[in-house]
Amino acid sequence: MPRRVCYTSEVICTRKGRGFSLIEMLISVFILSITVAFVTVMAGTIAVSRDSAFVHNAFRIADNKLDELRAGGYAALPASGPFNDPGLADLPQGSASTTITVWNAQTKKVTADVSWQSADGAQRAVSLTTLITESGGL
Amino acid sequence: MSRGFSFIEVLITTALFAVLVLAITQLYLVYGRVIVFQTSSIDVTLGGSYIIDATRTAGLQAKRIIATHAFPSVNLTSGTTTVIFELPAIDVAGAPIMGSYDYVGIYASSTNAYHLIDAAPGSSRISRERRLTGALGALSFVYDSPSFPSVTSVTVDATTSALVRGETVQMHLRGHVFLRNL
């Protein structure tokens, strides 16, 4: 191994004049990466739990709407369009809409969509769908 | 080759070691705080959900809302923080028992919300009392009619919250429950 001249300090260049050995580098990289991974994962869980609360709220909003339409009955089904819900105030830039389409002669397909902006700035949405029949059913 | 460590080497090793120990301790503490925070946010969310779900489950099967009922443990009166549903009793085969009713009460008492079931004799429902949450912030029931027998829907508004190391974890849930067995 060629001898290297040490300009900086005794610590970095040992008496033997060599650099760090492979095992030393491996260990330090290992420790550093474990720490970085740990911190990243931990920071991630906070965002995940906040997002899961939003998802929870959004599903409640959609569920409430479907229940309301179901209770109103087939004849009272409105046209597709946005709807308002007090729960939307808890979602960042929350918006909600229903899509009502004809499924067959006596059935309509109702979809409630709720969307909002998640913590990372991306647009998130949940959707619930049900069928409402003209007669019978709950 | 047989010399020991130089002073600077020992100094730097000690310093590095101290920094590492500090960092790990800090991570451990922060992680503990995160866990406590997450646990209470789950509790808070579940507590709110239990209230909405219990109300919806009872409401869907309820024939009507009644003003008062004497449960074995407490006398309840329907109002803004209490609701009492009257459900047709059902036998083990799922058939309604004529003229026989089960009663389901959901009420708030300070930071607790309770769910009571008073089942009629022969009903397949089981009488019981359970606490839905101990982290209740506010609970309100709003009826679509001032007269209980003519109520057809109830709006539930439940806020659950917990204080974790000076920070408030809160969940605000609403449910619109329609009586579907009128």
pLDDT number for residue A90? 87
Q: Provide CB contacts within 8 A for A130, sequence distance 6+.
A: A66, A70, A109, A110
Among A9, A42, A69, A132, pick the best mutation site for testing chain B contact (most B Cβ within 10 A): A42
* B177: β partners: B154
The pTM assigned to this predicted structure is: 0.80
Q: Residue B77 and residue B9: Cα distance in Å, rounded?
A: 77
Contact state of B178 with A68 under an 8 Å Cβ cutoff: yes
DSSP-assigned letter for residue A137: -
Which tops the pLDDT comparison, A44 or B101? B101
Report the 10 Å Cβ neighbour count for B21: 10
Quote the CA–CA distance of A51 and B67 in Å, as a whole number.
40
Which residues are B69's β-sheet partners?
B76
What is the structure's pLDDT at A120? 81
Chain segment A86-96, per-residue pLDDT in tens:
889 989 999 99
Sign of the alpha-carbon dihedral angle for A9, A11, A12, A18? positive
Residues of A in contact with B45 (CB under 8 A): 53, 56
The pLDDT of residue A1 is: 45
ipTM score: 0.77
Helices (H), A1-138: 22-72
Cβ within 8 Å, pair A60-B173? yes
Domain boundaries, chain B: 31-178
Instruction: Evaluate whether B38 touches B126 at the Cβ level (below 8 Å).
Output: no
Max avg pLDDT among A50-54, A76-80, B83-87:
B83-87
Reduce the DSSP state of residue B53 to 3 states and report it: helix
What residues of chain B, 74 to 133, have a C-beta less than 8 Å from chain A? none
Q: In this predicted model, which residue has the larger pLDDT, B30 or A125?
A: A125
% of residues, chain A, pLDDT over 90: 38
Residues of chain B contacting residue A35, judged by C-beta atoms under 8 Å apart? 23, 27
Element (H, E) at B38: helix B7-61
**What is the H or E stretch that residue B35 is in?**
helix B7-61
Cα distance between residue B9 and residue B16, in whole Å:
11
The model's confidence at residue A15, banded by pLDDT at 50, 70 and 90, is low
Residue range A40-56: mean pLDDT, rounded? 84
Indicate the pairing of strand B75-77 with strand B68-70. antiparallel
**Which residues of chain A are within 8 Å of residue B180 when distances are taken between CB atoms?**
71, 138
What does chain A come to in residues? 138
Return the pLDDT at B119: 93
C-alpha pair distances (Å), B97 with each of B5, B85, B91: 89, 17, 6
Three-class HEC string of A102-118: EEECCEEEEEEEEEEEC
For B90, half-sphere exposure in the C-beta direction (CA atoms, 13 angstrom radius) is 9
- Please, what are the averages of pLDDT over each run of 10 residues along chain B (182 residues)? 80 91 89 87 92 94 93 93 94 89 94 94 92 94 92 93 88 91 80
Query: B75: how many CB neighbours lie within 10 A of its CB?
Result: 9
* pLDDT given at position B138: 94
Q: Under an 8 A CB cutoff, do B173 and A138 touch?
A: no
